[in-house]
Structure 1
Amino acid sequence: MHPEFQQLMHQATQLTRSGDLAAATAAIQAALRGGPPAVLRRQDDVDASDVIDVQAWEVPDSARAPDKAPDIPGDAARPAPRPAVSADTFTAGSFRNSSGQRAYKLYVPPNPDGAPRPLVVMLHGCTQDADDFAAGTAMNEAAREQGFYVLYPVQSRSANPQKCWNWFKHNHQQQGRGEPSILAGMTREVMAAHPIDPARVYVAGLSAGGAMAAILAGAYPELYAAAGVHSGLAAGAASDLPSALSAMKGAGVAPAGQAGSGVPTIVFHGDRDATVHPGNAESVIAASAGAGAGARAETQRVAGATGKRHSTRHVYRNAAGDIVAERWDVHGAGHAWAGGTPNGSYTDGAGPDATAQMLRFFFERGSAGKH
C-alpha cells in the first residue's frame, strides 16, 4: 500500500474518532484520488464555542444547504391523511425543502373519531434527540391523556456537531430562511397529513431549542398560537457567535423589540442557571409582550410541595387586561427542564411541572387560524 495512502487513511480514522466527519471524508476522498485533500480541517482548528449547552464546533454555512430559500412543500411524498386512529403511535419521518432536510418523530394520540386535535412542536436542546426529549419532558404521556399530537424535529449532526439548533446565526432567524423555514414547513406538512386544528398549534423548546422556539414564534405568528421557552434566549438576542456567548453570559441582555411579537409566551428559567443567564427570561418576555410589559406584571409566590422547588410566577397583561405572557423563576434550579423525569437528560425532577404549566397556558388560547 502506498505510504501516502496509508497516511491519509490513518488521518481519516483519527478524524472520524474525534467526530470531524467532514475532514475525515476529505481525507478518504484524497486517498482515493491519490493526492492530498484540498482542505483537511482538524477540529482543533475550528472555533470550539459554537454551542449553547456543551462544547461543540461550528459547521461552516458552505457545508450546508442554502439558507436563502422560501418555504416550499416537502420534496418527499407526503403520507396519506389518517383521519381516525384507534391506538397511539410514535413514528419517525423526515421533511425536506430547499433550505435543507431534518428528521423528526411524531406522537399520534388515539383519535377514533378523527376530530381535529392540537399540535405541540417540541425542540430539543443540544446533544438531545426526540426520544430523549420525549422521555425527559413526559410530553407523550400528557398527549395520550389530553389527546394532542407532538412533533419532535431532530437537529442533524451535519448542521451542528452537538445537535444544537443554530439560533445564534443571522441566517437562521427569519421567515423563509434556514432552520425556521425547515421547521415551519415540517409543521405544515404534519398538519396536512393529520386531523390537526390549525388554530391550536404551539411550539416549545429547551435551551437551544427554546431559543429556536422563540424565533419560530416571532417569524411565523400566523402558524404558532403560543410558545414555551425553557432556559432559552429571545429572538434577536444574538446574530453571531460572539454576541451569542455574550447573551448567554448575561452581558448586554436587552429587549429584542419595543412592540413585541404579540405571540403569547410562557417562560421557565432556573435562577441558578450557569449556562444561559436567567436575565434572558425577561428578554424573552419583552420580545413577546413588549418592552413595557413588566410595568403591568403581577407576581405571586408558588410554593413547592415537600422537597420540591419554590417558584415565582410573573403574569403579564396587555392594555385590555388579557394575559399575554407568563414567566416562572424556578428558585435554586440550574439548566434543566423543570419537573422532568430522570428518563431523559437535562431534567430537574424537583422543579414545578413545566410540561403541565406550558400545556395549560397553550390550551387557554388559540390563533386566528389563518395559515
Structure 2
Amino acid sequence: MIDATMTKRMEEATRLTRAGKLQEAMALLQGGMPETEAEGTPRQPSWGGNTFEGTCEAVDEDVTVSKPDPAPSSAFGRARQTNANTGRFTAGRFTSRVGTRDYKLYIPSGYHGQALPLVVMLHGCTQNPDDFATGTDMNRLAEEQHFCVLYPAQPTTANTSKCWNWFKAEDQQREGGEPAILAGMTRQVIDTHGLDTSQVYVAGLSAGAAMATTLAMTYPDLFAAVGVHSGLPHGVAKSLPDALGAMQGGAGPLGGGTAQKTTWASDVPAIIFHGDHDTTVHPSNADRVAAQYSASRQAGATVEKGKVANGHGYTCTTHHNAKGETHLEQWQVHGAGHAWSGGSTKGSYTDPKGPNATKEMLRFFFQHQQVNGLGARERPVK
C-alpha cells in the first residue's frame, strides 16, 4: 500500500521514464521505496538452516484492553479504543539469526493455555499493528471466536514506508529474508503459547497481502490457508521497476517491459479480496494471484453476486477441488478502491461499505483446519 506522497512519486517517475530520463526516474523511486535499507543500517543476511530458532522478548507483557480510552487523538489511541474487550494486546520482539522484528499479539480472555488457532496479520505500507488491528476489527472477532492474532511490525529501517519488501528477490525465499523472520516469529509464538499448529493462517493488505502469499508459497507446511486483500502474486517483481509495473497491471514503467512471469503455485487454500476501482494495485492482480492457487481447482466454480445494504455490490467466485471442497474464493468488490473491505473507518485504508473481509476470511480459514503438508512448488512453464 502506498500513501499519497508515494503515489505522486510514482506518477512523476512514470513521466520521467516516458521522457527518456531513466536515471532520474530510478532516483525518485529509490527515494520513495528504497532498494536498500536506510543509510547506516546494514542489510540482514539471508541464512539457511532452521529459521524457527529465535527468541521472543516481551516488551509490554500485560496490555489489558478492557474499556475505551477517553477521546483518543492518535492512531495508537484509536487502536486502544476500538479494541474494547477483555483480552490482552501485548507487545513483543522476535530475534533470530535472520533479523529482528517487533510485533503485537492479541490473546483473548478465554485463553487458559489451550491450543487456540492463530491468525497472522500483515499490515500495509505506512500502517502499524495497532492501526491494522483497528481497521480490520480482527481483535474483537478474536475475542468472540477464541483465537490469537499476531501482528508483525515492519520498521522504517527495513523500508522507509514500512512496506513489507515483497518485491525483493532476497525476501521471496524460504530460509531467508523477511519470510524466514515472519515464519520464525510465528513458530516461536505458537511454541510459547502452545497454540494449534494445524490452525495457523496468514492474511494481509496490499504489500502485506503480497508478503502473505509469499509465505503461503514458501511455508505451506506452516500456514493452513491465506487471505490476500488488494495484493500481488508471489515472484512477479525482483526490483522497484518490476514492482511498479506489477502494481500498474503488468506494464513496466522502465523500458516498456512487463511484470516478471512467475511459475510458482501452491495448494494452500486462498481467499482473495480486491476492489475493482483500485488505482494503487491494479485489479487484474487478483486474477494473477488466483492463478497461483489454481493447482487443485478441478471441480468447477460457482459465482454468487450480491450487494451490501447501502454499500457496494460484489461478485464471489468459489472454486472447489477434486473432493468438492472449497479451495479458493475470489471476491471482487464493485466500486471499491484500495481499502480493507468492510473495515472500520477508525483505521486507515478501510471501506466500511463493502462485504466484511475480516468475517469472510475467518469463515474461510476455519473450514480449513487441517491442510498441512500441501507443498508449494514451481511448475513447468507451458
Same fold by TM-score, threshold 0.5 exceeded? Answer: yes
Aligned to 2:106: 107
Distance in 2 (alpha carbons) for counterparts of 1:354 and 1:106: 20
Q: Tell me, yes or no, if structure 1 residue 342 matches structure 2 residue 342.
A: no
Aligned to 1:296: 300
Contact 2:37 2:157 in 1 (8 A): no
Distance in 2 (alpha carbons) for counterparts of 1:91 and 1:181: 22
Contact 2:58 2:93 in 1 (8 A): no
Q: Can you list the C-alpha shifts for 1:26-81, whole angstroms capped at 9, x where unaligned?
A: xxxxxxxxxxxxxxxxxx99734369xxx4333259831112443141145689xx
Distance in 1 (alpha carbons) for counterparts of 2:355 and 2:56: 41
Aligned to 1:265: 270
Q: Tell me, yes or no, if structure 1 residue 274 matches structure 2 residue 272.
A: no
- CA change 1:112–1:118 in 2 (3 A) is closer
Aligned to 1:310: 313
After superposing on structure 2, the runs of 4+ consecutive aligned residues of structure 1 that deviate more than 4 Å are 75-79, 252-255, 292-295, 368-371
Q: Can you list the C-alpha shifts for 1:132-177, whole angstroms capped at 9, x where unaligned?
A: 0000000001101111000000001110010000000111011101
- CA change 1:93–1:46 in 2 (3 A) is farther
Q: Tell me, yes or no, if structure 1 residue 287 matches structure 2 residue 264.
A: no
- CA change 1:358–1:244 in 2 (3 A) is same
- CA change 1:150–1:47 in 2 (3 A) is farther
Aligned to 2:364: 361
| Aligned residue identity for 2:292 | A
Aligned to 2:36: 59
Q: Can you list the C-alpha shifts for 1:188-234, whole angstroms capped at 9, x where unaligned?
A: 00001113111000000000000000000110001000000000001
SS at match of 1:302: strand
SS at match of 1:49: helix
Overall identity of the aligned pairs, in %: 49
| Aligned residue identity for 1:257 | T
Contact 1:338 1:353 in 2 (8 A): yes
Which structure 2 residues correspond to residues 148-167 of structure 1 after superposition, within 5 A?
148-167=147-166
Superposition TM-score, scaled by structure 2 size:
0.77
- CA change 1:93–1:117 in 2 (3 A) is same
Aligned to 2:243: 244
| Aligned residue identity for 2:129 | A
- CA change 1:56–1:238 in 2 (3 A) is closer
Aligned to 2:116: 117
What is the Cα deviation at residue 255 of structure 1?
A: 7.4
Distance in 2 (alpha carbons) for counterparts of 1:256 and 1:325: 19
Contact 2:268 2:371 in 1 (8 A): no
SS at match of 1:103: strand
Superposition TM-score, scaled by structure 1 size:
0.79
Q: Tell me, yes or no, if structure 1 residue 221 matches structure 2 residue 224.
A: no
SS at match of 2:135: helix
Contact 1:118 1:196 in 2 (8 A): yes
Contact 2:35 2:240 in 1 (8 A): no
Distance in 2 (alpha carbons) for counterparts of 1:121 and 1:222: 15
- CA change 1:237–1:216 in 2 (3 A) is same
What is the Cα deviation at residue 358 of structure 1?
A: 0.3
State which structure, 1 or 2, has the greater radius of gyration over its C-alpha atoms: 1
Which structure 2 residues correspond to residues 9-24 of structure 1 after superposition, within 5 A?
none
| Aligned residue identity for 1:270 | G
Aligned to 2:168: 169
Contact 1:218 1:235 in 2 (8 A): yes
- CA change 1:223–1:352 in 2 (3 A) is same
Distance in 2 (alpha carbons) for counterparts of 1:355 and 1:50: 33
- CA change 1:294–1:354 in 2 (3 A) is farther
Aligned to 1:24: none
- CA change 1:364–1:131 in 2 (3 A) is same
Distance in 2 (alpha carbons) for counterparts of 1:76 and 1:202: 20
- CA change 1:225–1:295 in 2 (3 A) is closer
Contact 2:299 2:322 in 1 (8 A): no
| Aligned residue identity for 1:322 | E
- CA change 1:67–1:48 in 2 (3 A) is farther
- CA change 1:170–1:295 in 2 (3 A) is farther
SS at match of 2:93: strand
Distance in 1 (alpha carbons) for counterparts of 2:191 and 2:244: 38
Distance in 2 (alpha carbons) for counterparts of 1:50 and 1:122: 27
Q: Which moved more, 1:313-322 or 1:346-355?
A: 313-322
Which structure 2 residues correspond to residues 199-238 of structure 1 after superposition, within 5 A?
199-238=198-237
Distance in 2 (alpha carbons) for counterparts of 1:333 and 1:156: 28
Superposed CA RMSD:
2.7
1:324 to 292, 302, 327: 327
| Aligned residue identity for 1:272 | H
Contact 1:165 1:209 in 2 (8 A): yes
Aligned to 1:131: 130
Structure 1: any 5+ residue segments left out of the alignment? 1-43
Distance in 2 (alpha carbons) for counterparts of 1:50 and 1:278: 25
- CA change 1:224–1:277 in 2 (3 A) is same
Distance in 2 (alpha carbons) for counterparts of 1:254 and 1:313: 28
| Aligned residue identity for 1:361 | F
